[in-house]
Structure 1
Amino acid sequence: MSQKSVSEQIEEQSQIQEIIQTILIDQEQIGQLRTKHKQASQAEHCIEKLREDEKIWSCGSGGFFLQTTVKEMREILSNEKEVCKVEQKELAKHVEESQKLLHSLDPYDSYKLQQQYLQ
């Protein structure tokens, strides 16, 4: 077995750190998407007994309040939940690929480094 040069070790450690940071960022985004999905579900629950043609107030982008129908709001919330699910799946797949790459670089060193980052 050949020894790695110092520059190779530094490069590898740099790659490992970058991958770990990417994993942590992706996991944070997954958590935010779960929260967003949960909020959309709670909002759906709040309007489930209302008639479709009833008008309700909603907060639009930029913090402006808009009046919309319950039917439109249900569609918006349903779409929001679907987008969250799709994005969560994509991020989870990316995390899995990153973890495989991390493990392939150097299983022992990458595990030690990951544990340091998570502390």
Structure 2
Amino acid sequence: MSSPSIFTRILAGDIPGEILHETERVFVLRDIAPKAPVHLLVIPKTEQYANVVELAAGDPGLLAEMVEVANAMAAAAASSGQGDGDFRLIFNTGEGSGQTVFHVHAHVLAGGLSEGSLGDG
């Protein structure tokens, strides 16, 4: 059995981390290396899925909940003066895409983004 992911260890309190929001099945953290004024991670509490492709096949309802939470967090950021409620939702899938933690998670980026602002041209 592999060791718990850093996300599971934060959720368990083994590693410090500020949980910004939590539901029965997901939780939200700030990214430690932000790429935008608002850069949050929406993470399922289960480690069962390494990436979004596995999650979509195995539990589409959980994927939908992650999107719903991402939307709510972007709206909350906007109501506190960060962004306008618009956001990017990014899932890195595989090492070649930049995925470094193989516990599926979504990056929520918001606040002052524009076309090409993250090198996506």
The two structures have a TM-score, normalised by structure 2, of: 0.28
Q: Which of the two has greater helix per residue?
A: 1
The two structures have a TM-score, normalised by structure 1, of: 0.28
Greater C-alpha Rg? 1
